[in-house]
């Protein structure tokens, strides 16, 4: 056994094995997690306001502490922004985070040292589970792509710098002394450099990252799924001429590009024959899975469930789903199919029931309404099934269509028609004659028969959703209309909204306010 393998097995035993033990009794692990959070934060302003020191059970916690949103937290966040400490959490505030604001305006909240330490452990666990389980030690001999947002923006929130989540977390995490060995071993050649990742101009950052990547033996890519896929697609189809004309690119790499390209399209599978794993995060990987496999071949895709406010879960086995982080975050689950249902702990959840998720963690979020809906595919160990955004649930006629169901139906139709899709968005259309979805889809190539494609989407949705099927049978919901989006159309829409195409998410539901931008898609 090599020194590297022995070292990683030792760290896996210390960091991952205790987590696996806690998954055997997730209810007990969650009770212990909540006690730890309440004890540590009992002397914060928030903890004193709600009597954390006196809470002795989950039931008492639920009675005393209100369900929160980013809006209800504003009085506390505002005091943090002024430089006051020990307001939401007891550790030092490093900066403020600006989330992407998927379903509304951007959100700002403080980032503390302890939460960064949790992020470090979560990131290390993800890598260790993959490496140890498959004995992928040769992964560390090549380069890793990890493109993220700049660690700082030009904004200020009170007295603090503001960063976008992926960049700010990574910068803080990388600066921690205890992470240096793991970072060095996990990415002895990480692409791009910190200097390139700090660039605010997304197109410039992507090209400079591509220039570094084509010259390397890339074996892994990780980061926000949409950002990494955007980079890979641009390397594949857009940068060939620019790279060959670039005086900064060495002749050997240019010769290699000529060998692995045809009609100015770079074959990434030939460019990086040792590519092994794509680590997805932040958004559903469903619409990207076929694109990733078309670009990179039969690589493993490992998923995570995270948000700027906290990490929800990790994939720990190659064929498994995402398991909740039961020792870092306390979860509550509020059934969405029962009016006025009370949130329940993980010990009381059931399979295939949709729940709104509430999160309590060391980052200053207490009974925080994350805005997501989850189901459980397994209870032993607990494993998430569908994860979708709550505000993306359509309910025109009582069908309650969840985002993940729509994405899977689109993916099914793409398989039937031999294509794939990049992005999609829904616009409800209600007239005196019908109620239906207009589904705007950016394809890699448009299907020859859009009506047949719409039929495949419709039939799949009817199989997986009883409510949707009933709405179609009763003719209260008319067939879906598929509208192809021109290449780059969603990027143009995001730019018009004042957002960066590389770092912002496409709004899945086109509101009346956004409908004015629809001509940009066609």
- Dump pLDDT digits (tens) for 438-475: 999 999 889 999 999 999 999 999 998 887 887 888 77
CATH, domain 393-520, list 3.30.300, 3.30.1120, 2.120.10, 2.30.30: 3.30.300
CA–CA distance, 416 with 478 (Å, rounded to integer): 22
Give CA separation, 7 vs 10, 12, 45, 124, 177, in Å.
Answer: 5, 9, 42, 13, 17
Given a cut of 70, the residues of the chain with pLDDT beneath it are 1, 100-105, 173-188, 283, 287, 390-393, 432, 502-503, 512
Per-residue pLDDT at 179: 46
Q: Tokens 């990790």, residue?
A: 314
Name every residue whose Cβ is closer than 8 Å to that of residue 509 and which is 6 or more positions away in sequence.
103, 391, 392, 394, 425, 426, 427
% helix, strand, coil for the chain, step of 5: 40, 20, 35
Which residues lie below 8 Å from residue 251, measured CB to CB, with a gap of 6+?
A: none
The answer to whether the beta carbons of residues 301 and 278 sit under 8 Å apart is yes
Token pair 């990683």: residue: 8
Concatenated DSSP letters of 413-443: HHHHHT--EEEEEEEEEE-SS-EEEEEEEEE
Q: Can you tell me whether residue 383 is helix, strand or coil?
A: strand
Token pair belonging to 152: 């700082």
- Placement of tokens 């992005």 in the chain: 423
Q: Are 403 and 392 in contact (CB under 8 A)?
A: yes
Query: Within 10 Å of residue 57's Cβ, how many Cβ atoms?
Result: 11
The Cα–Cα gap between 492 and 494 comes to 5
Q: What is the pLDDT of residues 371-413, one digit of tens each?
A: 888 899 999 899 998 787 766 567 777 777 877 788 889 999 9
Contacts of residue 269, Cβ cutoff 8 Å, sequence gap at least 6: 275, 295, 296, 297
Q: Is the pTM of this model over 0.85?
A: no
Task: Give kind and range of the element (H or E) at residue 314.
Answer: strand 310-315
Residue pair 271/303 in contact by the 8 Å Cβ criterion: no
pLDDT confidence of residue 338: 77
Distance of CA 69 to the CA centre of its chain: 20
Map residue 360 onto helix, strand or coil. Answer: strand
Cβ atoms of 68 and 343 within 8 Å: the answer is no
Q: Give tens-digit pLDDT for 331-353.
A: 999 998 777 889 999 999 999 88
404-442 as b/e: b if 16+ CB within 10 A:
bbbbbbbbbbbebbebbbbbbbbbbeeeeeebbbbbbbb
The 3-class secondary structure across 107-125, one letter per residue, is CEEEEEHHHHHHHHHHHHH
Q: CATH 3.30.300 in the chain, residues?
A: 393-520
- DSSP letters, 433-478, are S-EEEEEEEEESS--S-HHHHHHHHHHHHHHH-HHHHHHHHTTSSP
- Distance, in Å, from the CA atom of 415 to the CA atom of 410, rounded to the nearest integer, reads 9
What the block records as the tokens of 401 is: 């269509």
Task: Determine the Cα–Cα distance for residues 206 and 223; give it in Å rounded to an integer.
Answer: 13
């Amino acid at each position: 056994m090599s020194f590297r393998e022995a070292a990683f097995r030792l760290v896996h035993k210390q960091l991952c094995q205790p987590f696996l033990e806690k998954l055997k009794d997730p209810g007990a692990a969650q009770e212990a997690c909540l006690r730890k959070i309440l004890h540590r934060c009992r002397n914060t302003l928030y903890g004193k306001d709600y009597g954390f020191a006196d809470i002795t059970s989950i039931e008492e916690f639920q009675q005393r502490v209100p369900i929160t949103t980013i809006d209800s937290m504003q009085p506390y966040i505002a005091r943090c922004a002024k430089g006051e400490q020990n307001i939401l959490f007891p550790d030092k505030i490093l900066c403020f985070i600006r989330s992407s604001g998927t379903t509304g305006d951007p959100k700002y909240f403080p980032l503390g040292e302890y939460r960064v330490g949790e992020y470090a452990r979560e990131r290390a666990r993800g890598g260790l589970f993959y490496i140890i389980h498959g004995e992928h030690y040769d992964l560390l001999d090549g380069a890793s792509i990890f493109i993220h947002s700049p660690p700082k923006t030009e904004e200020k929130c009170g007295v603090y710098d503001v960063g976008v989540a992926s960049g700010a977390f990574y910068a803080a995490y990388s600066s921690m002394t205890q992470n240096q060995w793991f970072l060095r071993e996990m990415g002895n050649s990480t692409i791009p450099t910190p200097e390139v990742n700090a660039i605010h101009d997304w197109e410039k950052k992507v090209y400079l990252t591509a220039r570094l990547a084509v010259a390397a033996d890339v074996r892994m890519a990780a980061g926000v799924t949409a950002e990494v896929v955007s980079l890979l697609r641009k390397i594949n189809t857009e940068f060939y001429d620019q790279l060959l004309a670039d005086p900064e690119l060495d002749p050997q790499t240019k010769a290699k590009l000529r060998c692995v390209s045809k009609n100015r399209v770079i074959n990434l599978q030939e460019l990086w024959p040792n590519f092994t794993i794509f680590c997805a995060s932040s958004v559903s990987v469903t619409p990207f899975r076929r694109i990733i496999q078309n670009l990179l071949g039969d690589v493993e895709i490992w998923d995570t469930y995270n948000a700027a406010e906290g990490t929800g879960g990790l994939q720990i086995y190659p064929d498994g789903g995402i398991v909740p982080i039961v020792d870092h975050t306390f979860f509550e689950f509020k059934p969405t199919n029962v009016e006025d249902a009370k949130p329940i702990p993980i010990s009381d959840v059931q399979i295939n029931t949709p729940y709104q998720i509430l999160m309590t963690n060391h980052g200053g979020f207490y009974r925080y309404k994350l805005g997501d809906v989850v189901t459980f595919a397994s209870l032993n160990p607990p494993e998430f099934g569908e994860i979708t955004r709550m505000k993306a649930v359509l309910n025109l006629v009582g069908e309650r269509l969840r985002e993940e169901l729509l994405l899977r139906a689109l993916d099914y139709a793409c398989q039937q028609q031999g294509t794939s899709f990049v992005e999609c968005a829904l616009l409800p259309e209600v007239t005196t004659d019908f109620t239906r979805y207009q589904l705007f889809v950016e394809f890699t190539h448009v299907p020859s028969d859009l009506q047949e494609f719409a039929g495949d989407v419709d039939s799949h949705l009817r199989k997986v959703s009883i409510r949707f099927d009933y709405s179609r049978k009763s003719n209260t919901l008319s067939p879906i209309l598929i509208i192809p989006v021109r290449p780059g159309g969603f990027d143009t829409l995001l730019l018009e909204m004042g957002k960066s195409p590389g770092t912002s998410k496409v709004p899945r539901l086109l509101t009346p306010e956004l409908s004015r931008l629809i001509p940009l898609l066609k």
